Chains A and B, each alone.
Chain A
Amino acid sequence: MCLGIPAKVLEVNDNIALVDYGGGVKKKVDCSLVPDIKPGEYVIVHAGAIIERISKEDYEETMKILMELLKYSK
């Protein structure tokens, strides 16, 4: 039940955000736990609410670690 689904924020209006799950699926969710969220950001949605944003910098940092791993395994 702690399943969180990544999504992209399309609109934000008074603590309600319209998010895009990809594949044409969009839904209005609560964003009072991440009140400063902006359209264009990626987030994790859980049980109808955004619980956190996906940090671009940290995502890229993890990708670097993964690429290194791949490089040295060859």
Chain B
Amino acid sequence: MTHLELTKPFQSRELAKAIVKKINKLSVELSKKGFEKINIMHVCGTHEHTITYYGLRALLPENINVIAGPGCPVCIVPAREIDEAIKLAKEGIRIFTYGDMYRVPGSYEGLSQAKAQGARVTIVYGFLDAIRLAQKSEEETVFFGVGFETTAPTTASFIVNNKVPKNLSILMSYRITVPAVEYILSAPHNLNGIICPGHVSTIIGAGAWSFISEKYELPTVVAGFEPIDVLLAILYILEQLINGKAELINEYKRVVKWEGNQVAKKYLSEAFMVADRDWRGIGVIPNSGWLLNDKYDYLDAREKFNVKIDKWIDIKGSCKCADVVLGRAIPTDCPYFGTSCTPQHPIGACMVSSEGTCSIWYKYGGHMIRKMRKDINTEGI
């Protein structure tokens, strides 16, 4: 059996129909109970990709609104940190970056433009690639460490296992999703349920989200990334709303354990310390990022090369990226969407990454869904 066969049942049209039928029934009951709109937020770019790519919003009844939250680790890296990487690259230090980060604009330009002007930038698939490439020469190199809980542990494991070559240091840009979700929920909001990110949960465990159902009393589902996974998550949230319950359900049990990946968690706490970090255009969120533990100071690119940026520009003009990330705006609320801002000429970070909501909507036509709903009667599908 290949992975394609493994995922196939989770893409089944028959199953989608069966689940949507149930969702439709529950949504009618919920509106009778006084729920005018049911707002469900997910916090993962891959979920947004699944929802938009498979057109799931078009299958859902009018009163169910699925909102994209802070799920794109590339979109929230402050321009300052991109400027730092560019500065280093222009000084002749080779920067290893993920492809997704390569074209994200900093204050004035992105790493791709800097490279066109001769800066040293190499795209890698992961930290292991960076280590291998660094080992091939004596030159100073820096890994641009971007990502959420899913990505950070690999870097941590190589650090703890002493496998980082002397000429490789790290520009720490890792962020933590849980505090960002808490940041949204602790402010006034109109959310009725949360779909938690499956692969972040692989590391931190489904249990890490229990505060959502306990403290904020919202139905919460940890979900996988196939269309059936997402539809099930929506169904489980509606079922809870009907029954007046707020529980945490792990739909993605086949991969996510309640306690997460203990090995990965141990590496994280050994290599990194949790710190207050800023998110692009949003500001500082308490305990929302990682920096290197004192013991590994020597791997810190900022200290090693004394790079410091005092002024930077996170948001340009009327770009609504920060609101899009927080689920307070949709891409089409932005005057630049699809006109002056496109994946070829991005103004904000959300239009660059394959996990950015603006980019996903642009590529797969997420903006058409509202119009389509009016034109096509999707009832009974």
Which residues of A come within 8 Å of B, CB atoms? 1-8, 20-23, 29-30, 32-35, 42, 44, 46-49, 51-55, 58-59, 61-63, 66, 69-70, 72-73
Contact = CB atoms under 8 A, between A and B. Distances in A.
Nearest to A61: B253
B157 A51 contact: no
B171 interface: no
B2 A30 contact: no
B99 to A, nearest CB: 10
Interface residues of B, number: 61
A47 B19 contact: no
Nearest to B101: A1
A3 B148 CA distance: 11
B199 interface: yes
Given A47-B127, A47-B154, 16 more contacts: A1-B72, A1-B73, A1-B151, A1-B353, A2-B44, A2-B148, A2-B200, A4-B225, A20-B2, A42-B6, A44-B202, A51-B199, A51-B203, A51-B264, A52-B261, A73-B21
B352 to A, nearest CB: 11
Nearest 6 CB-CB pairings of A with B: A48-B126, A22-B2, A73-B18, A6-B3, A49-B154, A47-B126
B197 to A, nearest CB: 6
Contacts, number: 151
Contacts of A7: 3
A46 B148 CA distance: 12
Interface of B: 1-7, 9, 12, 14-15, 17-19, 21-22, 44-46, 71-74, 98, 100, 125-129, 146-148, 150-151, 153-154, 157-158, 161, 197-200, 202-203, 225, 228, 251, 253-257, 261, 263-264, 267, 353-355
24 contacts: A1-B355, A2-B45, A5-B3, A8-B2, A30-B126, A32-B154, A32-B161, A33-B153, A33-B263, A42-B6, A44-B255, A47-B98, A47-B125, A47-B154, A48-B128, A48-B129, A49-B126, A52-B256, A55-B253, A58-B255, A59-B6, A62-B251, A62-B253, A72-B18
